Structure 1
Amino acid sequence: MKNQENIRLFISLGLAGLLIAAILWLLGRVVRPEKEYSGQFQPNSASISPSYINSPLKNRMSLGEKVFVREGRPSDKDAGSKAFEAGDFSTAVSKFQVSLQAKRNDPETLVYLNNAKIGKSKSLKVAVVVPIGISLNEAEETLRGVAQAQDEVNSSGGINGLPLQLEVISIDNFDVMKEISVELVKDTSIVAVVGFSRDSSIYNKGGLVMVSTINPKRPSQPTQYVFYATPKFDVFSDAIASYITKKTRLTNIAICSDSTFLVNQEKISQEIVEQYTDSIKKYGGKVTSTACDLSAPDFQPSAFLSQAISDGAEGLILIPRPDKLNLAIDVARENKGRLPLFSYQGVYTERTLKYGQADVKGMVFGVSWHNDVVGNKSFAQKAIGLWGGEVSPRTATAYDALQTIIAGLKQGNTRQELQKALSNPKFSALGATGKIQFSQTGDRKGGVFLVKVEPCNPSQSCNSSTGYRFKLLE
C-alpha cells in the first residue's frame, strides 16, 4: 500500500526496518534481566488490562477501549471504543464496522472490531507492541499485518475453536520497553507477544514467547522463547555486498551515514557502517576512508563526493536517518549519476520516491518482502482487498510473526506448549513469503530480496503516485 507521509520522530527498520533493529539492539544492551515469573496461561475472556498494572503502563494497553491511532479517525471509532469500554460489545461491533467503511485502511479499528466480536467469550490473547507514538506510519504497517492474520484465523473458526484476541501496546518512547516487557510476562492471560525487544532474558526467564518483527545483529546463541520473523541483520548487508562486488563488479565503495543516530549515548550509525564494511570486505571489496557525516554542520555534498571520487570510490552506500531523508537525497542530487547508489531497508518508503525522484534512480537495497515475490500470493491479494492497496515488507513481516504464533498455538495453547512447538526443528508455518522456519538460534531461515528504484512504465499500472517504483530485481 502507498506509504503515508509521516514526519514524526525517527524509527526505521524495521526488518521490517533496519534503523529500528539497530536502535533496539543497542537499547537491549543496557537492559538487565528481571526476576523469573511463573504462572500457567489460561484462555481469557475479553477484559481491560489486569488491575495490577500501574496506571501509566495500563494507559498504553488496549483491547478496544482506547483509541491510539487518532489521526483522521471517524467519530464512529471513538463511539465504538466507548461502547467497548462499557462492555456493550454489540454496539462496539456496529460502530467499528461503520468506522471501517469510512476509513478502510485503519488496522487498529479492524483489530478492535474482531476483539468486540469476541466479547466476553473465551479466547487466546496475543499482545502486539507497536511504536504508535514514535512513528505512526511504521506502527500502522505493523498493525495491518497482525490485523489481517487475526481476521483470517477468526473468520475460519479460530485456533482449535478459540478466537484470537489482540491487545495493542502503544509506546511513545523506548525507555518504557523494559517495564512493558516485564508487565506482559506478568499477565498470564497473554500467551505470546508480537513486537521487539533486544533483551531476550525477560521473555526467556518469564517463559513468554515473543516473535520479533526485527532482527538485530547479535551473537548467534540458542534462544528459548524469542524468535525472529526476519533474517539476521547481516544477511541484508551481505546481500548488498554480494550484489555490489559480484553483479556490478565494483570493488571500492564509499559509505555515507548520519552520526546523530544516538540511543543511550551510543552511535548507531557507527554500528551500521561497521556491518556494511565487514560485508563488503567479506566479498572481496573495500571501503574508502572518505569521511561522511550527513548531519555535520559543515557537511557539503559536493565536497564529499569530490573527495570520495578522488579516493577511488566506484559506488556509494547511503545510510540516512529516515526522519532526515532529505540529507541523503541532497547527496544523491549532487551525485548526478556519477556513482551508483546503494542503501538499506530504512529507505523503503514513499518519501524516497516522492522527494528523490530521478536523483535516486537506480538505487539498490535489500528488503524482506516484495509484492512480486513468488510465495504466498494469497497474502498480497487479501491485503489489497482489506486495505485498498499494496502493503510494505513491514506488514508482511508482522503477518508472518502472528502466523507463526497461530501455527504454534494449534499444537498447544499454553506458553510452554507454544515454545515447544516453535523450537521443534520440523516446525513450519505459511507466511507472506512462503514457508516460515527457524534456526536453532531462533532466526528466520531464508534470504532477502533486492529492489531497485526505477521510473514507472507509462503503459503499465504503478503502485506509486510518484512516477517511480521499487522494482524487484530478479
Structure 2
Amino acid sequence: MSPQGEWQCDGIPKNNDPSYQGSGEHEPYVNNGPFCLICGLPKEAMSAGKTKIQGSSPTSTTTVSPPPTPNSPQNKILPLVIALLGVLLLTGGGFLGYQVLTRERTPVANSENGEADSFISQQARNAQGISQGEKILLNSTPTKESAAQAFAAKDWEGAIEQYEQAAQEQAHDPESKIYLNNARARKAGNPLTLTVVIPLGSNPNAALEVLRGVGLAQEEYNQNPQLPGRLLEIAIANESSSSPTTTLADDLIQAPSVLGVLGHGVGPETEAAIQRYASAPMPVIAPINADVTESAGRSLLKTIPLDQGNENLLKSYLKALATTLTQYTQSEVDSLAGVIFYNGDSRYGMGVQQALTTAIQLNNGRLVQAVDVAQPGFEVETALAQAQDQGANAIFLALSKDYLDLATELIQANAAQNNPLTIVGGDELYSPNILVNSGEAVAGLVLAVPWSFQSADSFSQKAYQMWKGRVSWRTAAAYDATQALISAVVANPNRVAIQQKLEQGVMIVGTNTDFSIFQAVPLVIAVEGPQGPPGSNYQFDPLP
C-alpha cells in the first residue's frame, strides 16, 4: 500500500507484528496520513500479512505504547466517547449529534498530496473567530487581506509571497508570521496542527503578546522539524464573550486535524471547556489545568484533572506573587497597612485578592480594606481618601487585564495625592497601556511578573530580533507552553498519546525560565528609559 491515500483503521492490527499496539478497538475511522488520528497505529498495521514498512514513521524508530490493560484509561476513553455520541443521538442531540459523528469521520488530508482538504472554520459554529490563514483576525492591512485570499484559495505560493511581504511591513505582527509558516506547512503537506485560544476582542495587546511566543516557537520548529517533512501549523481561535467557550471547544474537538490546544482564560467557561476536552480526549495546556514542579534545577510541566484537588499552576503562582509583593512592600514602609483593590468578577482578581489577604496576615501586616472595584458606585477618589483616612500606607492592585483603564486612574490619582502611597501590582498590569496612559505617574510602579526582558538573556535576544522590540512575560510563558506541547506531539502525533504524555509530564526547556518563581516572583519597576512603548518615556526594568 502506498503511504498516501485513504485507509481505514478500527484499532486492531491486521498483521502479525506484535510491536503494534493501538489504544484498543474503536469505530472504523478513515485516515489519510501515516498514522490513525484516533489510536496512533500506522497505516501498515492495517495490512494483513504485511511487515513494518521501513521509513514510514516520521521518526527513525516507531514509538510503541505498552499494551493497554483491560481497565486502563486508554481502553476506557474511546468507549466513553462513543457512548456520549450515542446519548446525543438518542436524547435530543439530533442534528448536532449527527454532525459530530459525520465530522469525526471526514477525511482531513488530500489523498494526492497530504494537504488538508478544508479549514477548521469551514465546519465550525464559531467560524468567524477561527483562522489558519484564510482570514485576518487582527490588524488587517491590504497585504494581509491579499495573503488571506490566496490562502483561502489554497494558492500556497501566493500566500507565502504575500504573508512574507506583510511580515516585512509589520515586523512586530505575529499573525502574519504565523500564517506565513502555516502556508509553508500546507505546501509541504501533512502539517502538525495546534490551536491557540486567546481573547482577541477584550485584550488585543495581551493576545499579540501570547501570539509572539507561539509564533517564535513555531518558527524555530519549522526551521528544524523533529518529524521530517511535517511542519507546524498554528490555528488562531478567538475566545469571545459573545459566544460560549464550550462551543469553541466543540469546534476544535470536531476538527480531526487539531492535535492540541493552548490558551484559554481562567473563568468558569474555561473550566467547562476543559471538561469537554478531557472527555474527547483533546490535549490542552491552560493555566487552570497545568502544574509545574522543579527538581534538580529542571522544570516538569504536567496537566492535571480539575477535580484532583491539588494546587494548580495558577494557585501556586498567585500564592508566590502575593508573598513576593507583600515582602517587598514591607521593606518600603513602616508597619505595613495595605488596601487591596481587586475586581471580584474574575477568577484572577479574586485569586490575587485572597492570596494577598493571606500573605499580609502571615507577614504581620494589617489589611486596611479589600475593595471590589467591580461593585456599583465605586469611585477612585473616594476609595483613595478612605484608605488614607484608615491609615493605609500601601496599595495592592489585584486587577485583571479588563481593568487596565481603572488601574491607570488609580495610579494617577495616587500620584496626585499629597502623600502618595507605595503602589504595587500583579502581572496583568504589565502592559504598554499602563506605561503610555499613566504618564509620569507610573514612575516607581512595581509589578510582580514571572519573567522580564533582560538584554543578556538568549531568549530575550532572539525574541527582540524576531519581533523588533521587547517582549513580555506572556510571550515567554506562551513560548514555554508551546515548546512543551510540541515535545509531546513529536513523541507520538495523536491525541491520546499526546494527552498521556502531558499527564506524565514534559520537561520545560524553552526560555530556561526559573520556575523557582513559585517561591519568589521577579519584580520589575517603571523607570525612565528609551526602550518603552511609543508614547511613553518609561519602561519596565528588573528591580535591582
The answer on 1:103 being equivalent to 2:174 is no
User: What pairs up with 1:87-102 in 2 under 5 angstroms?
Assistant: 87-102=154-169
235, 250, 253: which is aligned to 1:167? 235
Counterpart-to-counterpart distance in 2, 1:212 and 1:447: 22
Gaps of 5+ in 2: 1-78, 83-103, 265-269, 292-301
Shift of residue 238 of structure 1? 2.4
Shift of residue 451 of structure 1? 1.2
User: What pairs up with 1:147-166 in 2 under 5 angstroms?
Assistant: 147-159=215-227, 161-166=229-234
364, 367, 392: which is aligned to 1:287? 367
Contact preservation (8 Å) 1:229, 1:400: no
Q: Deviations over 1:97-155 (max 9, x none)?
A: 11112112211111111111122501211011121122221111111111111011001
Q: Partner of 1:60 in structure 2? A: 129
- Letter matched to residue 190 of structure 1: V
Q: Partner of 2:180 in structure 1? A: 113
Pairwise CA RMSD of aligned residues?
3.5
397, 406, 411: which is aligned to 1:329? 411
SS, match of residue 397 in structure 2: strand
Indicate how the Cα distance of structure 1 residues 300 and 348 shifts in structure 2: closer, same or farther if over 3 A, else same. closer
- Letter matched to residue 61 of structure 1: I
Q: Partner of 1:429 in structure 2? A: 508
Counterpart-to-counterpart distance in 1, 2:449 and 2:398: 14
Indicate how the Cα distance of structure 1 residues 216 and 270 shifts in structure 2: closer, same or farther if over 3 A, else same. farther
SS, match of residue 335 in structure 1: coil
SS, match of residue 232 in structure 1: helix
Counterpart-to-counterpart distance in 2, 1:51 and 1:354: 36
Identity, in percent, stands at 23
Indicate how the Cα distance of structure 1 residues 209 and 247 shifts in structure 2: closer, same or farther if over 3 A, else same. farther
Indicate how the Cα distance of structure 1 residues 282 and 91 shifts in structure 2: closer, same or farther if over 3 A, else same. same
User: What pairs up with 1:218-367 in 2 under 5 angstroms?
Assistant: 223-224=304-305, 232-245=317-330, 250-258=335-343, 262=345, 269=349, 272-289=352-369, 293=373, 297=377, 299=379, 301=381, 303-320=382-399, 321-367=403-449
- Letter matched to residue 470 of structure 1: F
Indicate how the Cα distance of structure 1 residues 372 and 213 shifts in structure 2: closer, same or farther if over 3 A, else same. farther
SS, match of residue 142 in structure 1: helix
Counterpart-to-counterpart distance in 2, 1:341 and 1:114: 43
- Letter matched to residue 244 of structure 1: T
Q: Partner of 2:150 in structure 1? A: 83
Contact preservation (8 Å) 1:107, 1:143: yes
The answer on 1:203 being equivalent to 2:277 is yes
Q: Partner of 2:22 in structure 1? A: none
Counterpart-to-counterpart distance in 1, 2:280 and 2:372: 43
Counterpart-to-counterpart distance in 1, 2:217 and 2:203: 22
Number of equivalenced pairs: 415
Contact preservation (8 Å) 1:256, 1:294: no
- Letter matched to residue 81 of structure 2: Y
Counterpart-to-counterpart distance in 1, 2:158 and 2:290: 43
Contact preservation (8 Å) 2:380, 2:410: no
- Letter matched to residue 37 of structure 1: V
Gaps of 5+ in 1: 1-34, 438-443
Counterpart-to-counterpart distance in 2, 1:174 and 1:447: 37
SS, match of residue 447 in structure 2: strand
Indicate how the Cα distance of structure 1 residues 126 and 292 shifts in structure 2: closer, same or farther if over 3 A, else same. closer
Counterpart-to-counterpart distance in 2, 1:338 and 1:91: 57
SS, match of residue 235 in structure 2: strand
The answer on 1:452 being equivalent to 2:520 is no
Q: Deviations over 1:326-383 (max 9, x none)?
A: 4213432333453211112222112222232332322222112101297xx3322121
Indicate how the Cα distance of structure 1 residues 198 and 250 shifts in structure 2: closer, same or farther if over 3 A, else same. farther
Contact preservation (8 Å) 1:290, 1:307: no
Counterpart-to-counterpart distance in 2, 1:51 and 1:254: 46
Counterpart-to-counterpart distance in 1, 2:370 and 2:200: 37
- Letter matched to residue 88 of structure 1: D
394, 401, 411: which is aligned to 2:481? 401
The answer on 1:184 being equivalent to 2:240 is no
SS, match of residue 491 in structure 2: coil
- Letter matched to residue 338 of structure 1: P
- Structure 1's consecutive aligned runs of 4 or more residues displaced over 6 angstroms after TM superposition are 38-44, 214-217
The answer on 1:134 being equivalent to 2:202 is yes
Structure number with the bigger relative contact order (C-alpha 8 A, sep ≥ 6) is: 1
Which protein is bigger by CA-based radius of gyration? 2
Indicate how the Cα distance of structure 1 residues 68 and 213 shifts in structure 2: closer, same or farther if over 3 A, else same. farther
Counterpart-to-counterpart distance in 1, 2:443 and 2:329: 16
SS, match of residue 469 in structure 1: strand
Indicate how the Cα distance of structure 1 residues 216 and 173 shifts in structure 2: closer, same or farther if over 3 A, else same. farther
SS, match of residue 119 in structure 1: helix
- Letter matched to residue 345 of structure 1: D
SS, match of residue 250 in structure 2: helix
Contact preservation (8 Å) 2:342, 2:370: no
Contact preservation (8 Å) 1:215, 1:228: yes
Q: Which moved more, 1:338-347 or 1:195-204?
A: 195-204
Contact preservation (8 Å) 2:131, 2:237: yes
